[in-house]
Amino acid sequence: MLREVQEETGYSTDREPILLGQFYVNPATQTNKVFTYLLLDAYHTSGQQLDPTEFIDVHIYNWNEMGSLIVNGEIQQLFTAHAYYMALSYLKEKPIR
């Protein structure tokens, strides 16, 4: 998972990824699952190394503004919003040390 993140975003971390949860995208029609991880202290290590059919834009947002960006519709991607709220819940239970 860390290798894939590094290839697709150019970011890495030295800390152990935290599995926040997993869910089916649409269990009525698909069998694939999404696994959501939280990476703490991520840092830029290189440029992206995308496959020819991949097109990924990386955007950096202020964590304290994410909730309002989702509510205001500036961030509309379901997986991004879901991951944010899963991470928010995790961090309320287990604050970063």
Enumerate residues 6+ apart whose C-beta is below 8 A from 19. 35, 36, 37
Which residues of the chain have a pLDDT value below 70?
Answer: 97
Q: What is the pLDDT of residue 10?
A: 97
Strand 18-24 to 11-12 pairing = unpaired
Q: What is the pLDDT of residue 61?
A: 92
Q: What is the pLDDT of residue 96?
A: 76
